[in-house]
């Protein structure tokens, strides 16, 4: 699945009509948390990202997302002139969906097939 998903993430961003870079101001505890509250900035930005997806979808737009790997986020931050204490959690691609979309087959399961009691 990973081998299929990664190239598609690049393609969807490349073809998106708009790219959103949702930076957030990080504290020193985000990457090395000492308490649950030190994770508040990253938890908040993911709530914002979710709301962007929900609002865009409600307006008939399609969304894609990719999380930067390695130093990629730092390199993008530097390229766009973001302050040093800001982090980029992901890229968001926005645009109108393609006219011809492949049908996605939904596999239906019963609760009995998915609930496992006393075993994995």
Indicate if the pLDDT at residue 86 is higher than 90. yes
Quote the pLDDT of residue 110: 93
Q: Long-range contacts of range 37-44, CB-CB < 8 Å, 24 or more positions apart? A: 42/87, 42/89
How many Å apart are CA 39 and CA 16, to the nearest integer? Answer: 30
**pLDDT recorded at residue 15:** 86
Average pLDDT over residues 77-93: 94
- CA 51 – CA 55 distance, rounded (Å): 6
Q: Is the pTM of this model over 0.85?
A: no
Cα dihedral across residues 44, 48, 53, 58: positive or negative: positive
pLDDT score for 38: 83
Q: Domains in the chain and their CATH numbers?
A: 2-99 (3.40.109.10)
11-65 pLDDT, tens digit per residue, is 888 888 999 999 999 877 677 888 888 888 889 999 999 999 999 999 999 899 9
Residue 1 in this model has a pLDDT that exceeds 70: no
Q: Are 63 and 93 in contact (CB under 8 A)?
A: yes
Query: pLDDT per residue over 92-119, tens digit each?
Result: 999 998 888 777 788 899 998 888 888 7
Q: Give mean pLDDT, residues 57-76.
A: 92
């Amino acid at each position: 699945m990973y081998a299929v998903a990664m190239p598609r993430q690049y393609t969807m961003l490349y073809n998106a009509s708009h790219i959103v870079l949702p930076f957030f101001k990080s504290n020193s505890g985000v990457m090395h948390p000492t308490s649950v509250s030190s994770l508040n900035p990253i938890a908040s930005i993911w709530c914002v990202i979710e709301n962007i997806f929900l609002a865009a979808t409600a307006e008939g737009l399609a969304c894609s997302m990719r999380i930067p790997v390695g130093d990629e986020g730092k390199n993008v931050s530097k390229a766009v002139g973001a302050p040093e204490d800001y982090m980029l959690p992901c890229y968001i691609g926005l645009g109108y969906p393609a006219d011809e979309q492949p049908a996605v087959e939904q596999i239906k399961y019963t609760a009995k097939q998915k609930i496992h009691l006393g075993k994995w």
